Amino acid sequence: MSLFLQLADAPDEDVHFEYKFMFHAVYGEGLEFMSSAVRAVANKQQNAHGFKRFVSREDLSKRGYVKLDHMTIRCDVTVFQKKKRPLSHETSPPAEPRLVDAALPLEP
């Protein structure tokens, strides 16, 4: 079995996110099997992420995740907000007026 996430409307800019898949036992309580958390980036060129060979149906059936051709899969997704960098305005304080002591030649 393969599991993938696909961004329905991918923006031009990168979207950074983290996801993990979890299976619930059909007639049990709680999470019994999950993938590790995966960090990914999606955009218009790359908008699908997941596992090409996640787990076999036979393994899922043996562990009680498939009953009467039904299974429950949960996917937690965390989207990371792009950090806004403050504009750097390097402004120096206004220069202090300076007194210049200059000797002027006297005219004869």
In a domain, 23, yes or no: yes
- For residue 91, tell me if it sits in a domain: no
Which structure tokens are listed for 66? Answer: 């498939």
* Domains identified in the chain, total number: 1
Question: Do the beta carbons of residue 5 and residue 21 sit within 8 Å?
Answer: no
Instruction: Tell me, yes or no, whether 97 lies in a domain.
Output: no
Measured in whole angstroms, the distance separating CA 80 from the mean position of its chain's CA atoms is: 4
Residue 108 to residues 21, 68, 105, Cα–Cα distance (Å): 97, 117, 9
Domain membership flag for residue 14 = yes
DSSP string, 38-79: EEEEE-SS--EEEETT---HHHHHHTT--BTTB-EEEEEEEE
Which residues span the domain enclosing 27?
3-80
List, run by run, the mean pLDDT of 10-residue segments along the chain (108 residues). Answer: 82 87 72 78 86 82 79 86 62 50 44
pLDDT at 78: 92
For the full predicted model, state whether its pTM sits above 0.85: no
Sign of torsion over alpha carbons 52, 55, 58, 64: negative
99 in a structural domain: no
Note whether residue 30 is domain-resident: yes
